[in-house]
Amino acid sequence: MKYALIAAGQGSRLISDGIQVPKPLVKVGGEPLLGRLLRIFLNNNADSVCIIINEEMSEVREYLEQQQLPVPLQVVVKSTPDSFHSFYELAPYLKAGDGKFCLTTVDPIFREAEFANYIATFQADDKDDALMAVTDYIDDERPLYVRTDPDDLRITGYASESYPGARYISGGIYCMNQNALSLLPDAMRKGISRMRGFQQYLVDSGLQVQAHPFSKVIDIDHAADVEKAECFLKELNI
């Protein structure tokens, strides 16, 4: 499995809360967010890892240069306007191998066993073009609501606002195949921005997009989220 990691954001909300460490290096459970994900990727059949960081992240670049992974690590240093453009920059590193890959942002905290099940499910899946992590734990300033078929969790659309019967939001973790990747150039030409826009584009294009529920995903956007994530991880170890 190929893994791609978007770590190019500025982390402005963390900075405004007084956290001066670059977001990828913020520690939760004693590990930097970036290091935690690298470890989890390696524990889940990583063939390669590609990462994008912005041009101002000298500390993060130095951290990555110190890593000695047993698989190829490609680092793209480029400032981009949003997550979708970051994904576009990583696309060339996702075209080889069996064609399947997992893309994530740098800040989700989740149960590692659930992530392992998610990856194994997609690796065994021969019918879906994308398997998107979702959660019914909603504690986000700007959640992306995920509309699903009640019978089989097929994703039928996305919404920025809650609606009657809304259950899931995006977990910010995306497994996709080459059919999904092939839509990137056309989506870019059409002015798609942010990963939420590209997810809707996949559905509108007729691809088979499925939801995979996680019990809880915590995004690290504020200092308070670090505290929540610490408590969450401690509960898992009890």
The residues spanned by each domain of the chain are 2-237
What confidence score (pLDDT) does residue 17 get? Answer: 65
SS3 of 141, please? coil
Contacts of 13 (CB under 8 A, 6+ apart): 221, 222
pLDDT at 76: 97
Structure tokens at 1: 């499995």
Homologous superfamily of the 2-237 domain (CATH): Spore Coat Polysaccharide Biosynthesis Protein SpsA; Chain A (3.90.550.10)
Please state the φ and ψ torsions of residue 59, each to the nearest 5 degrees: -65, -40
pLDDT (tens digit per residue) in 137-159: 998 888 999 999 988 999 999 99
Give me the phi and psi of 204, to 5 degrees please: -65, -25
Distance of CA 122 to the CA centre of its chain: 15
Taking a C-beta distance cutoff of 8 angstroms, is the pair 210, 128 a contact? yes
